[in-house]
Amino acid sequence: MNPEFGQNLSVLHLVLQASLPVQVVMALLLGASFMSWWFIFVKWFALKRARRVADRFEREFWAGGDINAMYQRVSAERDSVGEMERIFEAGFREFMKLRRQAGLTVNVVIDGTRRAMRATYQRELDGLESHLSFLATVGSVSPYVGLFGTVWGIMIAFMGLSSVAQATLAQVAPGIAEALIATAMGLFAAIPAVIGYNRYTHDIDRLANRMESFMEEFSNILQRQATKAA
């Protein structure tokens, strides 16, 4: 192989010499890849913290401590506590407020408590799912964006042969190579995004199940307390 020919096929040279549409495609894919990795790491730390805080709170809650004291602590530290603790705080606050109102039955009090916890649960779940839609979009769209760069690069390469009397590999190879780089970059952006989306969706579903189980169990505890006091 001609050394000059091999040098011209270096990745950096191909990227710099690519046509403007292909360079725009590569820049978009590179930016999407960087943002995907950023969200992947941010979400990994966020979910790791959410699991750790949920484990700690469940151990404290089921240890049989004073619920009122726990409520006071969570209320004072609301900005730094976990999702399950905020659900607990919203439910117990609504429970105490409804119990102070005369004429309400136990079922009405518990239904109001459940609605308060459900509203907080939905807000916390939305926070956990933030940025997952971006990962899903990058995972599904990036291969097609890379494919557009591929098609454009190959089209330009073959259009350049129209003014050449005799086509050679050296003439068509750079255009095809830059097109394949766009395809590779599309896959490089899509694969981590898809893996991250699937993994974090599974982790969030498990946390959501834990929070729903806690809401039901806590509602049963409050219902027994309200029934005894009635």
- The reply to whether 7 falls in a domain is no
pTM summary value = 0.83
- The reply to whether 178 falls in a domain is yes
- The reply to whether 8 falls in a domain is no
- The reply to whether 185 falls in a domain is yes
The count of structural domains within the chain is 1
pLDDT band at 2 (very low <50, low <70, confident <90, very high): very low
Nearest to 192 by CA among 40, 27, 25: 40
SS3 43: helix
- The reply to whether 91 falls in a domain is yes
- The reply to whether 156 falls in a domain is yes
Q: How far is CA 203 from CA 113, 115, 163, 209, in A?
A: 27, 25, 57, 10
- CB contact burial 27-39 (16+ within 10 A = b; e otherwise): ebbeebbebbeeb
- The reply to whether 150 falls in a domain is yes
pLDDT band at 3 (very low <50, low <70, confident <90, very high): very low
Nearest to 88 by CA among 230, 217, 209: 217
Residue 103's domain comprises: 37-229
pLDDT in tens, 35-87: 999 999 999 999 999 999 999 999 999 988 889 999 999 998 888 889 999 99
- The reply to whether 2 falls in a domain is no
- For the chain, the farthest-separated pair of C-alpha atoms sits apart, in whole angstroms, at 98
- Kindly state the tokens that stand for 169: 């590999």
- Regarding predicted confidence, which is higher, 177 or 97? 97
